[in-house]
Structure 1
Amino acid sequence: MKKVVAYFSASGTTAEKAKALAKIAGADLKEIVPKEKYTSRDLNWMDKKSRSSLESADEDCRPAIEGGAFNLSGYDRVYIGFPIWWYTAPRVIQSFIETNDLSGKEIYLFATSGGSDAAKALSDMKKLYPTLSFMGASLLNGPVTKDIGG
């Protein structure tokens, strides 16, 4: 089974977990990079007018991704990682899902968070993309010690 870990990391925390997971799972690694990088001001969740707050509130928001679609044709399993924003995945994850053909692939979500779990993100993704095979979601705040895909 060929695997890939695709991740978005705003501050480096999720990147660290993605790299560890890729190593343990024997997966390739691809970074989801927004065309417009997030600044610390953009990430200020206390500011209702910050970019991340405005994007989270806008269900139609799909931030552009640097380089467009990835070539995922050879992969059977895709791990998608992100920080939890407002109890779910950032809108750039929806951009990634909608830009790439994930049909027929096992999809495992993983997240980092200061206080939320990944359950709502999984529920949201299953609701938004009912034809895709979301197999589970894990919160990776501690050391990554095993392949979350089993």
Structure 2
Amino acid sequence: MNKMMLTMAAVMTVSAAACAQNRGEKRMQTDNKALVVYFSATGTTARAARTIAEATGGTLYEIVPQQAYTSDDLDWRNRQSRSSVEMNDPQARPALKGTKADVAACDVIFIGYPVWWNQAPRIVNTFIESHDLKGKTLVPFATSGGSGISGSVKALRETYPDLKWQEGKLLNGANRNAIQNWAHDVMKKQ
């Protein structure tokens, strides 16, 4: 009886794993704990962040501004829009809403954002400066309508040279499988 139960349990485990693979779900087994932090003004970066969290088994944390951005705030053609004013002021630090992320419990922090004016939005700086990230591995990822990620990663490294930054990845047009594979590769290197 016990042998039959063990055989059935093994078959069910293999079947569940096969079903998860068929659905395209890939979850990394690792000793490192991941936190996936993201700011998303339109939902594009949020989708990528959710995929990374699913792939790594990481905790998802949204950077939420105290005052939400409206479509008028995001109008990059208007020099007086909120986002334009913030990005033209290197000292701007938009206020955060909600509780702090539990960064103590993780080893790797993926930080996602849309690229604004070739940089991370200033609210990302607010997040970084509001948390003790020393000793953590920081992995930037971004989405963009036309810019690359290298300028924003360079600026983050220069602004926070004491933090341990990894190469960033632009996830525009990346499908679920590509994002999962990248996240797995990042975690394997830790």
What TM-score bracket applies, with the shorter chain setting the length? over 0.9
Alignment partner of 1:4 out of 35, 52, 58: 35
- Which letter maps to 1:145? Q
Quote the Cα distance in structure 1 between the aligned partners of 2:85 and 2:121. 11
Higher strand share: 1
Pairs aligned (count): 150
Higher relative contact order (CA 8 A, sep 6+): 1
Corresponding position: 1:66 with 2:97:
yes
Q: Give per-residue Cα distances to partners, 1:4-58, cap 9 Å, x unaligned.
A: 1000000000000100111112211010000000000000001010000000000
Q: Map Cα deviations across residues 63-101 of structure 1 (whole Å, 9 max, x no partner).
A: 011125322111100000000000110000000000011
8 A contact 1:119–1:137 mirrored in 2: yes
Identity of paired residues, percent?
42
Contact 1:68 1:99 in 2 (8 A): no
Aligned to 2:109: 78
Structure having the larger proportion of residues in helix: 2
The alignment's TM-score, normalised by the length of structure 2, stands at 0.77
1:116 aligns with one of 147, 150, 153: 147
The letter of the residue matching 1:112 is T
Residue of structure 2 in register with 1:97 after alignment: 128
**Which one-letter code corresponds to 1:58 in the other structure?**
D
The alignment's C-alpha RMSD in Å is: 1.0
Q: CA deviation at 1:134?
A: 0.6
Which residues in structure 2 correspond to 1:1-150 (within 5 Å)? 1-141=32-172, 142-143=174-175, 144-146=179-181, 147=183, 149-150=186-187
Q: TM-score normalized by structure 1?
A: 0.96
Deviation beyond 3 Å, 4+ runs, structure 1: none
Q: Secondary structure at the match of 2:53?
A: helix
- Unaligned 5+ runs, structure 2: 1-31
Q: Which runs of 5+ in 1 are unaligned?
A: none
* Shift in Å, 1:114: 1.1
